[in-house]
Homo-oligomer: A and B are copies of this chain.
């Protein structure tokens, strides 16, 4: 069985693994205040072209989201699209911190500046929550990406209304190297108040790098990390990994491999006239498969059934990662030919 189920099926990418092994026996301070974390933070600041930010290393994506939201006051709420990770796939972790999520429809997994305006026009007194943060993810949960113009419009409306713009970058690398993307690391930092650069889904063993730009959000941020189970005792391990990925091009190279492999899959499906549920340029694609084909695929491949399309078809998610090889794609192509041609 080969798994296209997600981008965290393997361990660490070779460079990261090597760094972990090499530094394994060296003593370092606990909880992310060691020299590796410091050096990694410096590299990240350079990559994003901002020196006046705080960089924190956090155990995972849900912890990042929870910590970011926990910076709000008790009555403040987060706006996000219905398909947003915090709204769907985190078992109510954000609400467990006491904060409401205001979900809007969005388009192709993306929120629009107009939707934010509408929410603000509807939340004007103390009988409703006060929206204070906008959550976006790039790439989105549907593999789509924000254009610079879209993100700038969102950023603008956030400034108007005093909203923090928070970007979940679990797959930020995949967005930045995608065909058609016009955003850079620096743009992301310019346009948001706080965001994270995902490690787990892009070649790290574990860990994400949270970047806090807005000065209001900086004070005592480490208290929030500790309180919400997001701080690692052996914090140095996340530092070591980001150091390995940012001291050269590894971080973006990992993401590029993932995107290219997924787009190759997309090309294969197109050859069989298999349509896509949504047009994603990143490492997640969503073909609409005939159920009889899907059944055959599942003999040899692990994939995610995203939901029913109609009675004969299913929306399926295929994900590629830094670890996906050309051979995996070639094998899949050969298998698909066989599946389609079987009686």
Contact = CB atoms under 8 A, between A and B. Distances in A.
A18 B37 CA distance: 24
Contacts of A23: 11
A59 interface: yes
Interface of A: 2-3, 5-6, 8-12, 17, 20-21, 23-31, 59-63, 66, 70-71, 73-75, 77, 88-93, 95-101, 103, 126-130, 200-201, 205-206, 220, 222-234, 237, 302, 323
9 contacts: A25-B323, A62-B226, A75-B92, A91-B127, A91-B129, A91-B227, A126-B222, A130-B220, A201-B233
A95 B93 contact: no
Contacts of A89: 127-128
A254 to B, nearest CB: 14
B60 A74 contact: no
B10 A237 contact: no
A30 B11 contact: no
Contacts of A232: 59-60, 206
Nearest to A4: B27
Contact of A227 (B71, B74, B103): B74
Contacts of A323: 25
